[in-house]
Amino acid sequence: MANYKRIFLDGYSYYITIVTHQRNPILIQNIELLRKSFQASKATYSYKIEAITILPDHIHMIITPNSAKEYPHIVRTIKQYFSKHCKQDFYEHLYQSNSRHKEGYKPIWQKKYYEHTIRNERDFREKLEYLYLNPVKHALVENPEDWEYSSFFQK
């Protein structure tokens, strides 16, 4: 993983997964704050959210940034805004390493996130299907259309 290089290709969409620290299920409880976090990122960066599903402890999304080099900044802005405004009650019980604490991290998000450059229409459909079926996979609902924290009906 140390040699991992992100790919930056303008005009492409990116499938991104962001996970909370220790999979703490705080996102749905803080859905309005999460929405504001996205608004903060959109105030600075230009991108389209092609699809999104928010689960209690992680987010799957497909975004198309105007400039590919901006997607790490988009993710960082979302995470930083949420972290800055999240009430301590939601994360104070979690352990975090001394190194994370010294670096000023709150135990809200995993440091890394997953990113995949979508190469073609088939790849897009596969990621879209995975994204929308994820609440079913996690036994939160029986049908993707029953999960209210996704863009399923806004397709």
- Is pLDDT of 26 > 80? yes
Residue recorded with tokens 């079926």: 133
Q: What is the pLDDT of residues 73-88, one digit of tens each?
A: 999 999 999 999 988 7
Name the β-bridge partners of 18: 59
**Tokens found for residue 79:** 């995470």
Q: Output the pLDDT for position 1.
A: 47
Q: Output the pLDDT for position 31.
A: 97
Are 26 and 57 spatial neighbours (Cβ–Cβ below 8 Å)? yes
Supply the CATH number for residue 85's domain: 3.30.70.1290
- Is pLDDT of 50 > 70? yes
Domain containing 70 equals 13-142
Mean pLDDT of the chain: 90
8 part of a folded domain: no
61 part of a folded domain: yes
- Is pLDDT of 105 > 50? yes
- Is pLDDT of 133 > 80? yes
The residues carrying an active-site annotation are 149
The whole-angstrom separation of Cα 54 and Cα 58 is: 6
- Is pLDDT of 93 > 90? no
When divided into structural domains, the chain yields a total of 1
